[in-house]
A and B are shown apart, each in its own frame.
Chain A
Amino acid sequence: MVDQQLLIEEAKKIVSQEDVKYVVGYKKGTYGFTVSPSYAYSPEYVENFIFNPLCTKNLTVYPMLEEKLPLGRDEKEDTRKIGLVVKGCDSRAIVQIIQEKGLKREDVVLIGIPCTGVIEPRKINRKFPDVKDVEDVLEEDDNYIIRFNGETHTIPKNELLSNACKNCETPNPPLYDVLIGEKVDTPEIQEFANLKDLEDKKIEEKWDYWEKHFDRCIRCYACREACPLCYCIECMADSLTPQWLRRSVNLSENTAWNIMRAFHLAGRCIGCGECERSCPVNIPLMELNKKIEKDVKELYEYTAGKDLEEKPLFGTFKPDDPEEFIL
């Protein structure tokens, strides 16, 4: 359980530093089980910061989204830092971004939170539909304690836990400046366990499975917007010269988009599961990401977001990389 008072205190300390522009954290949402990101420019804004298992969003997207306008004459670039509240996977995303030189280490101040998993909004909304005002969501042992409308519900953790969190290998942030509370134990996991069924299917069955999903894709690009590592200034999906993807929404273009998205995250995806949570039509995008993660691990012994000094997967090679597929 995260001590919210401690979080607020630490965030206050950080936001009052001279060289910090703002701190991004979580605040209570306006409706139901939502939690929204909150920007704190000065210490009084920090008061509404919270952290509970509903805080699913990966706040790492925000430093990359910040618009940098062209500078006027005599204007100097604002090089102040950005504070971020990060869970284990979010911190990994920051490591990965720093590794690819998207950010510098001194650009960010990280408030690390040892995380024991977050609640899948879809699951909790299905369980308690039409709840308007949620008082509190707590985690106790293996249960979530949810309070609203004067009622208290105790739900087993497994029922609501987000799919990506079930196989989490980095509950503790690998990179942080302040850590709130104690580090938690890394649970024993069966990595890539749920991929096995899909991989063992016949090729026609695989296509049937994915055809169903890709056909439903509405190409809203929510997966791209939610992803902390999709920060290209111009996305290939938006590019018109050359036009890699047509604008029309049909099976062919949707498949191409999903291949492209998954491939661009090869060796970069840190498995926060935000793409899957943000998908309005429930496409199991993490299966694609995990499949690539697995291949990359098996073929090149590479894991994304572990080490600040590591070189990107596709920017390096070993002369003895496997090449059985080559004629």
Chain B
Amino acid sequence: MSEDFDPNIIGFLCNWCSYAGADLAGTSRIQYPHNVKIIRVMCSGRINPMFVVNALQQGADGVLIGGCHPGDCHYQQGNFLARRRISILKNLLEFIGIDSRRVRMTWVSAAEGRKFAEVVEEVTEDIKKLGPMEQIQRVNVW
């Protein structure tokens, strides 16, 4: 892809771990790509697969989902439920021809600011290689 492609990545981060991890990355002044736009959700189990599909429709080139490490969920089991959903969704997207690397999931705890920065770097690199999302863009975005 051309050098100047600047991907748009939506990050759905869980309030208790990943969002705090992102916060830590910020307060620790760790540099990471500016492409990820963060939306805070209370739990990764809150993420409806339609959030992901709608994000891809509305102009996102990739979606990053962050939750607590297995067993650490504030709500005991939200991230386990999310894991099942997202893995089925990724397979389905792959099957209809949307690269499943556009939807990424990660476990980041509140202490892992460094890991969050690394994850965002990796995802941004991947999406840059994949290029802009063209398949299911909405015609009139409002």
A-side interface residues toward B, CB under 8 Å? 198-199, 203-211, 236, 244, 246, 248, 250-253, 255-256, 258-260, 262-263, 266, 288, 291-292, 295-296, 299-300, 313-315, 317, 319, 321-323, 325-327
Count class of interface residues, chain B: 35 or more
Q: For the complex, is B35 an interface residue (Cβ under 8 Å from A)?
A: no
- Chain B, Cβ-Cβ closest to A195: B95
Cross-chain pairs A/B with CB under 8 angstroms, 29 sampled: A198-B95, A204-B97, A207-B96, A208-B97, A210-B97, A211-B97, A244-B50, A248-B139, A255-B96, A256-B50, A256-B53, A259-B92, A260-B50, A263-B49, A288-B95, A288-B96, A291-B92, A313-B84, A314-B84, A315-B81, A317-B80, A317-B84, A319-B71, A319-B80, A325-B90, A326-B106, A327-B104, A327-B119, A327-B122
- Chain B, Cβ-Cβ closest to A255: B136
A275 to chain B, nearest CB (A): 15
- Chain A, Cβ-Cβ closest to B51: A244
- What is the CA–CA distance of A216 and B92 in the complex, to the nearest angstrom? 20
CB-CB contacts below 8 Å: B94-136 with A: 94-100, 104-107, 119, 122-123, 135-136
- Chain A, Cβ-Cβ closest to B119: A327
Collect the chain B residues with CB atoms within 8 Å of residue A207's CB. Answer: 96-98, 135
Known: A204-B97, A327-B106, A327-B119. A295 touches B88 (CB 8 A): yes
- What is the CA–CA distance of A319 and B83 in the complex, to the nearest angstrom? 10
CB-CB contacts below 8 Å: B59-93 with A: 70-71, 77, 80-81, 83-93
B84 A321 Cβ-Cβ under 8 A: yes
Collect the chain B residues with CB atoms within 8 Å of residue A314's CB. Answer: 81, 84-85
Collect the chain B residues with CB atoms within 8 Å of residue A255's CB. Answer: 96, 135-136
A206 B106 Cβ-Cβ under 8 A: no
- The A contact surface, by secondary structure, is helix
- Chain A, Cβ-Cβ closest to B87: A325
B97 A321 Cβ-Cβ under 8 A: no
- Chain B, Cβ-Cβ closest to A287: B95
Given A198-B95, A210-B96, A299-B88, 9 additional A-B pairs, CB 8 A: A207-B96, A256-B53, A256-B57, A259-B53, A263-B89, A291-B95, A295-B88, A314-B81, A325-B105
Collect the chain B residues with CB atoms within 8 Å of residue A253's CB. Answer: 57, 138
A260 to chain B, nearest CB (A): 6
- What is the CA–CA distance of A57 and B77 in the complex, to the nearest angstrom? 39
B137 to chain A, nearest CB (A): 6
B136 A256 Cβ-Cβ under 8 A: yes
B138 A203 Cβ-Cβ under 8 A: no
B97 A260 Cβ-Cβ under 8 A: no
A92 to chain B, nearest CB (A): 20
Collect the chain B residues with CB atoms within 8 Å of residue A206's CB. Answer: 94-97
A201 to chain B, nearest CB (A): 9
- What is the CA–CA distance of A129 and B80 in the complex, to the nearest angstrom? 53
Collect the chain A residues with CB atoms within 8 Å of residue B31's CB. Answer: none
